[in-house]
Amino acid sequence: MAPIQAEIKLVQLKNCFVNVPQTVVTVLDNARAVVQNVVVELQYKDSGFNAQGTRRGNGPSQHSVFVGWTGMASTAKPSSLVDRVGRRVREEAGVVEIDAAFGRMLGFADGQKVVILLHLDPPLAHTVHIEPLTPADWEIIELHASFLESNLLFQVRALPNPSFAAPASAQGHQAHPLTIHLSPTSTANVIVSSLTPPQPSSTPFAKIAPDGEVIVAPKTRPRMPQNDRTSSRSIASTGRRSAGTRTGTTRQRSQREIAGPNAVYLRGIDQRLSDHSLENGEERANDQVSVAVWIDREILASKLLRDLEYACVSIVKPAGIEPPLDPQQQQRIRDLESSDAGKPSQRIIARLHAWDDAPDTHHAVLSSALCSALDAKEMVGGLVRIAAPSQRSTGNDLQALKIYPFISSTSDSEAIRFGGQTKAGREAAANRIKELYRSKDRERPGILDGPVTDGLILPILSDTNPADPWEGGLVRFEPRSKDSRESSKGHIRWYLGSEVKSEIEVQQSIPNPLTMIKTSAINPDPLPLEPPSMIGIDSLVKELVSHLSHGSSVLLSGGLGSGKSSLTHLLGHRLRSSLYYHTSYFPCRKLITDEVRLSTIKETLTRLFMAATWGTKLGGRALVILDDLDRLCPVETELQTSDNSRSRQISELVCSLVRQYCGANSGVVILATAQNKEALNNIVVGGHVVREIVALKVPDKDGRRKLLQALTGHHQGLKSSTNGVNGHMRHSSQESQDNEAAWMGASPHLDASDMSEHFSVDKDLDFLDLAGQTDGYMPGDLALLVVRAKNEALIRSVKTVSDEADDSNVLLTKEDFGNALQGFTPASLRNVTLQSSKVTFDSIGGLHETRKILLETLQYPTTYAPIFAQCPLRLRSGLLLYGYPGCGKTLLASAVAGECGLNFISVKGPEILNKYIGASEKSVRDLFERAESARPCVLFFDEFDSIAPKRGHDSTGVTDRVVNQLLTQMDGAEGLSGVYVLAATSRPDLIDPALLRPGRLDKSLLCDMPDLDDRLDILQALSKKLNIAAHILRGTNKSISLIEIARRTGGYSGADLQAVIYNAHLEAIHDLLGDHSANGTNDFKGRKDTKKASRSLKQDIIQFRFGKDVAEGKNPSLSRAQQATEYAAIIAKLEAVKLARRRERHQQRGPLEEEAKDGLNGDNIKNDPKQGVVIEWKHIEASLATTRSSVGTDERGRLERIYREFIVGRNGEMPNGQGPTEVGGRSSLM
């Protein structure tokens, strides 16, 4: 094949293979070449200049690189060129994609021209001897020996022959090195020293055999002379030269410095976050005004730090952790370096102290001032480099100490106080700086009294007045001569402030350089300054700490306002301070916007896990908190296909990062939060991202009482006893208060603790009773409820204010909380549809035994919860109401909501059943989750036989899956706590028997046909709602009483009796509207049609038209319906006039005379408008004549046999288990 010209493109392949152009792939496919037998030769020419920039005598020389083929074609496009007239011309040359680290090691750059040559069937090498390129590479290979052994063949295929004799045209030929990726953050470069069997000198390459053996020769560092150790450079000195290189080179240099003998590397800890005591109490109290570092005495006695009082401290951080800088930020850095102030120093001279109580020899405590100067506030983990300092400057070389104050964040005008234009202002600012950072007490020196480094950042002290605009500053040395300035380049300039009393010159204010170079990338949020206090979850915190400390990742689930975020903050503080975990808190809601691309999400999460890996150096451990992971990786739904693909891609990304960075021995664990496990994508749940799933449940009654006492400040000793463990409302900073208020779901300015000191609690306020009224409330709901109660108290106090009122605290009373509860919906119930019912047991007649069992099952465990909580047996939580149609099953269920004070959710069959596989089961799970969030709650299934029939009778299998899910939910491992299942059916024989076993629907209650007494009770209950004539209710005449109605309605159900009374009520309404027959009585046997009614209206009313309309000849035509409506309105007005006159006569005659005149039967009585519609006996007679029983005799007998068999049980003739064999028959599991 002829050579092909192409250009280089550096990509992230992480191997020694290349992607070739599509034209080359086509040629190889046509030749049916095996990917493993292809060796690609890349020929290129160098510039012809040596390292000193002079041209070599032979000019440019040609080189060759031998690599393997990935089997893929390159996707990058060649770069465009510009012709003489300025038009862009795209070359026809292809693109060769090569790994960036490997390519830079070979000297390649993007766009470099190469020539491609292909070689097939290369010779094999069964034994390969390789040698690390540098001692640092050997140290990295030693750390990842097992990985190199198992993954070398996946990264290297083609090998250069070290014994190859180059032709005369290619002078200076040397076998090129190979780059091996041993971890996500480190690489190693090796060279091939020999091959076995030996290859001929005419063969420039070979291929490693699949069963080849690799032998690595060690390469150690040479010992340095004693006088040369002090002149060695630190990592920061080479940082500027390598600022433009890629991550791989930076990581190699970092590893090279780690193994260097000129410094000590320890895990850094901010002094404020260390629980271990330091040298003495005075040192700890003085940590904020000193630049110091505490190290174990064994490390201080080592050769590097022996007899040293001061040391050079710097942070070693890989470049891949920091987000890339955009051009504007790069320009800011260049402007900052060229300014008079310059960049802050990344190496600070600090005083060394002995740490007697050190947990081990791998940790060092940095003072808060030192952490602020190194931009490492709240640092735990990572690498801190401690080396011998450079020579200390003397006072003769220092002319003045320049202070560049940082611009105040409040307003720029206030910053003139530090760096004003007037001489008096600058002197006042200098005196103020001396007061802050210099001390007159020699035992407690200030920052400017100790070691002062050129480029040191002066931090904001904790005791600074908040009204003071001082925001810190930058220290710069002003040397006396230019010669001393030039001689000081290359090493750190520092002096001891106690020995050199230099003058302080305040310069013009500048922006804070640490904030100037901050990128706009999405970064983790810092933890609150103080850990939040949680109440009543001591055992849960202990369990989570145990899981995380043993390396098990945890998913914390809980509803809205349950305190998941605050609990993660508490765990982060606990593990960071006690076990020195490197903690990263990342709220996933930052990445859920559509503007965030998948590449940005990948880069952000990769940096997050890389930073956690960096925090585990030297045997440390790291915790990554992914808050609201279900927002980033939601569950896939059938109706949102586009969101499903995005969620699937992000979930796969999270799983791959976890497998890469959170291995068994990596030291990185994850703490994720979600509302529940089902809200997460199945890829995350099944991808072993987390090992343990812990639920943060709703607080019980006693827990709610403690929360309310804490929120109102009623229990004064609660704060001290539960600080950092069991409270959630007190913080020492406004920032932490805002964070906690955000957790509560309320505004940050509505924190209940801010106003607690201005309120007092009424002695008559029973918090236990108040906790009983807040069933199902989360801690966030209780916090918002207390705020509402305080607002109600403020409104009440303003309304009742008087001149004699004193300035005492506002009193919180029971009425304030009662008003606050009105109209308040907890967060867990905002998306739950609850049915409200005004039906009580008093409005239901009969069924006395059934009502008694319902009260025992539903109301008593809720009303007397402490007593039933001590019951050793599992309480009954499921009931089945079965009986004849219309006997009050649904009415009983609706009365439960109004009688027992429980939340009520009614379920119909179509709400659950879905044709899609898995959708019906999800509906059942969501239904029980809604019920648990609204507990105590009654879940009512009406027509249960249509939802859960016997399994095997459904050809589609939908109801079978619903039954299986119901069995799991009703009698699962956790059980139903506070959720009662109530089912109603008229065919209990059709229900799957597994649901009727103990633990599910524990008891079946029969709603039988009412007997005579029950029918009388039902009629009396119905009479409370309607206005029935008094003589019928009194029953003075038994022939026209309720007993007579009950006697004549044998076989009627409760619904039939209700129909009798309601039809009688309609008859009374027709009688009131004046629908009379010719003989003066109402014709209720047949209804008049619309035409007869309108014709009768026309005969009764004569309309006289007069006025302007008649004079102009207008005769508006109205339809029959409009005429009937107009006539009905006229009749109503006339009847109102008649009734008013009749009422006046009734008052004049008296009630006794009126009753004697009209008689007891009431046939001639007209309805009194005060009483409204009154049901008389004639109305009931008419209703009885037209109403029949809804359950016939045959149907009643059939249902009676079914219920008898259901109660007594089956006969002895049991089926043999053989299914039906007829065509079209259905099989059943029963």
List, for residues 1008-1029, the tens digit of each pLDDT value: 999 999 889 988 888 888 888 8
The 10s digit of each residue's pLDDT in 722-734 is 333 333 433 333 3
Whole-angstrom Cα distance, residue 860 to residue 852? 11
- What pLDDT is stored for residue 694 in this prediction? 92
Q: Which two tokens stand for residue 569?
A: 């903050």
- Residue 415's pLDDT is what? 40
Q: Distance between CA atoms of 815 and 765, rounded to whole angstroms?
A: 9
The pLDDT, as a whole number, for residue 564 is 92
More confident residue, 657 or 859: 657
Confidence of residue 487 (pLDDT cuts 50, 70, 90): low
pLDDT tens string 642-698: 677 888 999 999 999 999 999 888 899 999 999 888 889 989 988 888 999 999 888
For the CA atoms of the chain, what is the radius of gyration? 44
User: Are the beta carbons of 42 and 115 closer than 8 angstroms?
Assistant: yes
User: What does the pLDDT read at residue 489?
Assistant: 56
- CA gap 97, 95 in Å, rounded: 6
Say whether pTM exceeds 0.95.
Answer: no
Most confident of 191-200, 485-494, 727-736, 772-781: 191-200
Lowest mean pLDDT among 140-144, 432-436, 821-825, 1124-1128: 1124-1128
Structure tokens that stand for 381 in this block: 């983990």
Residue type, 1127: Y
H-state helical runs in 846-956: 848-854, 860-863, 865-869, 889-900, 909-912, 919-933, 944-947
- pLDDT band for position 1040 (cuts 50, 70, 90): confident
* Helical packing angle, 641-661 and 598-615, nearest 10°: 20
Q: What is the CA angle 237-243-244, rounded to 5? A: 150
CA distances from 422 to 416, 419, 425, 503, 504 (A): 9, 9, 5, 17, 15
* pLDDT over 60 at 416, yes or no: no
Residues with Cβ within 8 Å of 637's Cβ and at least 6 positions away in sequence, in order, are 643, 644
Burial code (b: 16+ CB inside 10 Å, e: under 16) for 803-817 equals eeeeeeebebbeebb
Report which of residues 535 and 1082 the model is more confident about: 535
Tell me the C-alpha distance between 852 and 591, whole Å. 55
Rounded CA separation 306/671 (Å): 42
Find which of 22-31, 39-48, 253-262, 831-840 is predicted with most confidence, using mean pLDDT. 22-31
Q: How confident is the model at residue 750 (pLDDT cuts 50, 70, 90)?
A: very low
Tens-digit pLDDT profile for residues 909-958: 777 887 777 788 888 888 887 787 777 788 889 888 888 888 877 767 78
pLDDT the model gives residue 1193: 87
Three-state SS string over 139-206 comes to HHHHHCHHHHHHHHHHCCCEEECCCCCCCCCCCCCCCCCEEEEEECCEEEEEEEEEEECCCCCCCCEE
* For the chain, the helix, strand and coil percentages under 3-state DSSP, each to the nearest 5: 40, 20, 40
CB 1012 within 8 A of CB 1048: no
pLDDT of residue 555: 94
pLDDT band at 285 (very low <50, low <70, confident <90, very high): very low
In angstroms, rounded to a whole number, what is the distance separating the alpha carbons of residues 75 and 785? 60
Average pLDDT on 137-159 reads 86
Residue 269's nearest CA partner among 348, 369, 376, 354 is 376
Out of 219-233, 785-799, 990-1004, least confident range: 219-233
User: Tell me, what's the pLDDT at 201?
Assistant: 84
Would you give the distance in Å from CA 78 to the centre of its chain?
44
Q: What percent of the chain has pLDDT over 70?
A: 75
Residue 654: what pLDDT? Answer: 93
pLDDT of residue 725: 34
Instruction: Write down the pLDDT at residue 738.
Output: 40
State the amino acid at position 803 in one-letter form.
D
Using pLDDT thresholds of 50, 70 and 90, give the confidence band for residue 4: confident
- Better-predicted residue by pLDDT, 521 or 767: 767
**Band (542; pLDDT cuts 50, 70, 90):** very high
> Could you tell me if 104 and 250 are in contact, meaning their C-beta atoms sit under 8 angstroms apart?
no
Q: What angle do CA 1211, 1212, 1217 make, to 5 degrees?
A: 105
Peptide bond into 405 cis (omega under 30): no
pLDDT at 588: 92
Q: How far apart are CA 943 and CA 985, in angstroms?
A: 5
Counting every residue written for the chain, the total comes to 1230
Q: Is the pLDDT of residue 279 over 60?
A: no
- Could you tell me the pLDDT band of residue 593, with boundaries at 50, 70 and 90? confident
Per-residue pLDDT at 729: 38
Does residue 114 sit in helix, strand or coil?
strand
Query: Rounded to whole angstroms, how far apart are CA atoms 492 and 346?
Result: 10
Number of Cβ within a 10 Å radius of residue 1207:
11
Looking at residue 333, its pLDDT comes to: 78
Return the pLDDT at 1158.
45
Q: Compute the distance between CA of residue 949 and CA of residue 943 in angstroms, rounded to an integer.
A: 10
Helix (H, G, I), strand (E, B) or coil at 441: coil
The secondary structure of residue 897, as a DSSP letter, is: H
Per-residue model confidence as pLDDT tens digits over 1110-1126: 555 555 566 666 677 77
What is residue 639's three-state secondary structure? Answer: coil
pLDDT tier for residue 996 given thresholds of 50, 70 and 90: confident
Specify the DSSP class assigned to residue 674.
Answer: E
Q: Which amino acid is at 1020?
A: Q
Instruction: Provide the pLDDT confidence category of residue 466 given band limits of 50, 70 and 90.
Output: low
* pLDDT for residue 281: 44
Give the model's pLDDT for residue 1097: 44
Q: What is the mean pLDDT of the chain?
A: 77
Is residue 93 packed enough to be buried (19+ CB in 10 Å), middle (13-18) or exposed (0-12)? Answer: middle
- How far apart are alpha carbons 79 and 941 in whole angstroms? 69
Span 582-599, mean pLDDT? Answer: 86
More confident residue, 744 or 922: 922
pLDDT per residue over 314-358, tens digit each? 998 887 788 777 777 777 778 877 888 888 888 999 999 998 888
Long-range contacts of 101-105, Cβ-Cβ distance < 8 Å, separation of 24 or more: 101/14, 101/179, 101/181, 101/187, 101/246, 101/248, 101/249, 102/13, 102/15, 102/16, 102/178, 102/179, 103/8, 103/10, 104/10, 104/245, 104/246, 104/248, 104/249, 105/177, 105/179, 105/189
In the block, tokens 């990592």 appear at 235
